[in-house]
Amino acid sequence: MSKYFGARKVFKGLNFSVTEHQSLVITGKNGSGKTTLLKILSGLISPSNGEVVFNSNGDLLKREEVKRILSLVAPDLNLYEELSALENLKFLSRVQGIMFENEELKTRIEKVGLKKREDDLVSFFSSGMKQRLKYAFALMNDPKILLLDEPSSNLDKEGISYLENVIYEQKKRGILILATNHKDEIRYGDQIVDLD
């Protein structure tokens, strides 16, 4: 698989596979294409050459099927600042076609360390609190495939402890792919793709 933006090559000749209960770390310096590769895997952008194939029990999955089992957490994904944490999750879950009662959503907000903040506007949240809310959203569909871009971005010590639990649980549930250039996070990978 390759990706070009105009004449600029981002990466070329990538070929890898990840199976259930495995984790893959994509690493490399800033600008090496880590985020671009995650966006290709999630279907947000297309590769210039090659393809991404998802299989389940030997059957090729369609893009619509993949969307239902895949979630992405990334620093550049935006929440709705004019809505509360609860309103964000309610709206985003409906967009995904998942319906939750308010109490269930409140429990999920509490689980990421935002207890009693569900009615606060996201515009008043710190960057770390927003990152936690993104995790609450990404995990709502119990994804078989979880993509994390710079997963500990803006998280404090308690948030990183929560993240480690997410990583542990995801490896039990399905597939984890994370992009990072932090040495502490590379250890999460059973496999490593180094874009340098």
Output the CATH code of domain 19-54+62-194: 3.40.50.300
What's the pLDDT at 93?
Answer: 87
What's the pLDDT at 75?
Answer: 85
pLDDT above 90 for 183: no
What's the pLDDT at 5?
Answer: 92
Q: Annotate the chain with DSSP letters as a single string.
A: -BEEETTEEEE--------TT-EEEEE-STTSSHHHHHHHHHTSS--SBS----EETTEEPPHHHHHHHEEEE-TTPPP-TTSBHHHHHHHHHHHTT----HHHHHHHHHHTT-TT-TTSBGGGS-HHHHHHHHHHHHTTT--SEEEEESTTTT--HHHHHHHHHHHHHHHHHSEEEEE---HHHHTT-SEEEE--
More confident residue, 57 or 162: 162
What's the pLDDT at 102?
Answer: 92
What's the pLDDT at 191?
Answer: 95
What's the pLDDT at 15?
Answer: 93
The chain-wide mean pLDDT, for the chain, equals: 93
What's the pLDDT at 91?
Answer: 93
Q: Which tens digit of pLDDT belongs to each residue from 43-98?
A: 999 999 999 999 988 889 998 899 889 999 998 888 999 999 999 999 988 888 88
Q: Which tens digit of pLDDT belongs to each residue from 104-123?
A: 999 999 999 999 999 999 99
What's the pLDDT at 80?
Answer: 95
Q: Which tens digit of pLDDT belongs to each residue from 30-39?
A: 989 999 999 9
What's the pLDDT at 2?
Answer: 94
pLDDT above 90 for 124: yes
